Amino acid sequence: MDAGERTELVPDGDPFALFDAWYREARACEPNDSNAMALATATPDGRPSVRMVLLKGHDRQGFVFYTNSRSRKGAELLANPQVSLLFHWKSLRRQIRVEGPVERVSEAEADAYFASRARDSQLGAIASDQSEPLDSRATFLARYEEAKARFADKDVVRPPHWYGFRVIPEAIEFWHDRPYRLHERRRFERKAQEWSSTLLYP
């Protein structure tokens, strides 16, 4: 592509429609975990931490993921419910940043998603005290086997501390690679229910 190419690859308009279009492309061609996103949280005194999680639902209300609320990220989300997300699709040379507060999904929504998980994943959620010190992997596997025996011949019940969070976007920023680092960035921001956008220097 010519460095002087003027065609905008990140147009103004509806940020959710643009996210949907980019996400569909990523789901079709990104080789691994196209729904992976970096989740950045912070403690009440501002100490940041970041890790990869999986997007499990999205619509105009927000972006949903699930976790053990007793984990480090769960504790930080409950203490300081402001986060950033980052999607990076290397094969497409694109990234999307999302910023905003989080809220818990409903119990019914959490139950429905937990029921859709593979049984071994459900048992893993029962067995894991996520983020707590572990003396050996053998201990964790023994706890998994205990959970497997306990729930033999019956449905695995969602632990009450395992549920979903919805990130309610207040800003969504799209980045598209261009030759010679003449990249394209557009930032959408929400005021009340109205969205506006502007291009940013790369």
**Which is catalytic among the residues 27, 181, 186, 190?**
181
- What residues contact residue 65 under an 8 Å CB cut-off, 6+ apart? 37, 39, 53, 54, 55, 56, 164, 165, 167
Contacts 24+ apart (CB under 8 A), 11-20: 11/186, 12/186, 12/197, 14/195, 15/169, 15/172, 15/174, 15/188, 15/195, 15/197, 16/59, 16/60, 18/174, 19/58, 19/96, 19/172
Dihedrals phi, psi of 87, to nearest 5 degrees: -100, 130
Q: What are phi and psi of 40, to 5 degrees?
A: -105, 125
What's the CA gap between 162 and 66, in Å, rounded? Answer: 7
Q: For residues 34 and 89, give the distance between their C-alpha atoms in angstroms, rounded to a whole number.
A: 7
Does residue 181 carry a catalytic annotation? yes
Q: How far apart are CA 12 and CA 187, in angstroms?
A: 9
Q: Which residues are designated catalytic?
A: 181
